């Protein structure tokens, strides 16, 4: 028996308003264990919707979503989510936010504080454990959100443009940090972004999504050796790859402009 892929989606369709608006059409994809994949595509092509379906927060019209070969039924703690919007609970400190997740996912109360501390350490925020979200910068909030999502050990981490609201500098630091965590902790990550260089820097594979209806139109492997330093920007091969992803996305949007 061959091992199951970590995540497998087949024949998935999704529409809104009583099937009047088709948003996702015949999605088929597989993600291997410990793989880092990105979903890229023009705004409105259904990236968030697909991620929400994988998270179990939305239902598809039909098709299968399997985690380790078993169909999902709604949301579950085998899949952690980092949202684009800040979702730290404002009345809890960074530490308490992580503890909240651990408590709700039934961790041993005696271990909760330690695990939370360890994960804040992981995202280099130990010093801010007792700060409230209002006292943290956007990048710090997303780091706590990552710590929180990782703390209860989901098999798959789903991230929907987690760095979309951050400035370029912070964004770069966050990408680096995420890379480090991913390499050290062996995670399966599905990362939504519309930033091509971000996708290329982080991913093993990139799924380029087409528009109207949303579908996976191309899968582009990124074979650059890891650890990546982020300095590969000058590498002509990498720039060619970025250009290729960008072209693939553009074809879709330019097609739309015609009508």
Partner 1 sequence: MSYTTAKSETLRKKSDRRRRKSLLSMNTEFPTPTYVGIAICAFLLLLVAWTIVARLGLVQPIFLPSPLAVVTKLIKLAQDGTLGNDVAISVYRISIGFLIASVMAIATAILIGAYRFWEAAIEPVLDFVRYMPVVAFVPLSILWSGTSDVQKFLIIWIGTYFQQALMFKDNIKRVPADFVGFGRTLGMSDLRVLMRIVVPSAMPQIWDTLRISLGWAWTWVTLAELVAANSGLGYRITVAQRYLQTDMAIGYILVLGVLGLATDQIMRLLGRHFFKYEKRT
Ligand X SMILES: Nc1ncnc2c1ncn2[C@@H]1O[C@H](COP(=O)(O)OP(=O)(O)O)[C@@H](O)[C@H]1O
Residues that bind partner 1 (CB under 8 A): 52, 55-57, 74-77, 79-81, 83, 85, 87, 89-92, 101, 104-105, 132-135, 152
Contact 82, 158 (CB under 8 A): yes
Contact 179, 211 (CB under 8 A): no
Q: Which two tokens stand for residue 218?
A: 């191309």
Around 129, how many Cα atoms within 13 Å sit in the side-chain half-sphere?
Answer: 14
Exposure b/e, 233-253, CB count within 10 A at least 16 = b: eeeeebeebbebbeebbeebe
CB of 234 to partner 1, least distance (A): 38
Q: Is 48 in the site for Mg ion (CB under 5 A)?
A: yes
Q: For residues 62 and 137, which CB has a smaller minimum distance to ligand X in the complex?
A: 62
First to last CA, the chain: 50
Pick out residues in 37-56 that bind ligand X (CB under 6 A).
Answer: 41, 43-49
Q: Is 158 in the site for ligand X (CB under 6 A)?
A: no
Contact 164, 193 (CB under 8 A): yes
23 binds, among partner 1, ligand X, Mg ion, none (CB under 5 to 8 A by kind): ligand X
Helix (H, G, I), strand (E, B) or coil at 213: coil
* Total residues at interface with Mg ion (CB under 5 A): 1
Q: Is 145 in the site for ligand X (CB under 6 A)?
A: no
Q: CA–CA separation, 55 vs 192, rounded Å?
A: 13
Q: For residues 83 and 128, which CB has a smaller minimum distance to ligand X in the complex?
A: 83
101 binds, among partner 1, ligand X, Mg ion, none (CB under 5 to 8 A by kind): partner 1
CB of 85 to partner 1, least distance (A): 5
Name the site residues for ligand X (rule: CB under 6 A).
Answer: 16-17, 21, 23, 41, 43-49
Q: Kindly list the residues in this chain that would bind Mg ion in the complex (CB under 5 A).
A: 48
């Amino acid at each position: 028996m061959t091992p199951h892929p970590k995540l497998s989606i087949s024949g998935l369709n999704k529409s809104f308003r009583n099937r009047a608006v088709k948003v996702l059409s015949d999605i088929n994809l597989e993600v291997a264990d410990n793989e880092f994949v990105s979903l890229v595509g023009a705004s409105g092509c259904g990236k968030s919707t697909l991620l929400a379906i994988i998270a179990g927060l939305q239902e598809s019209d039909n098709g299968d979503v399997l985690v380790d070969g078993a169909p999902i039924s709604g949301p579950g703690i085998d899949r952690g989510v980092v949202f684009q919007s800040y979702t730290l609970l404002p009345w809890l400190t960074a530490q308490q936010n992580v503890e909240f997740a651990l408590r709700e996912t039934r961790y041993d109360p005696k271990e909760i504080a330690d695990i939370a501390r360890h994960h804040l350490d992981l995202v280099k925020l130990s010093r801010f454990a007792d700060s409230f979200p209002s006292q943290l910068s956007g990048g710090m909030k997303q780091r706590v959100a990552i710590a929180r999502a990782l703390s209860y050990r989901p098999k798959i981490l789903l991230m929907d443009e987690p760095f979309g609201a951050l400035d370029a500098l912070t964004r770069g630091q966050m990408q680096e940090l995420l890379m480090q965590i991913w390499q050290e902790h062996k995670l399966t990550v599905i990362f939504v972004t519309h930033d091509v260089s971000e996708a290329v820097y982080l991913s093993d594979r990139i799924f380029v999504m087409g528009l109207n209806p949303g579908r996976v139109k191309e899968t582009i492997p990124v074979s650059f050796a890891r650890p990546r330093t982020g300095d590969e920007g000058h590498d002509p091969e990498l720039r060619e790859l970025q250009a290729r992803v960008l072209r693939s996305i553009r074809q879709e949007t330019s097609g739309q402009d015609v009508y």
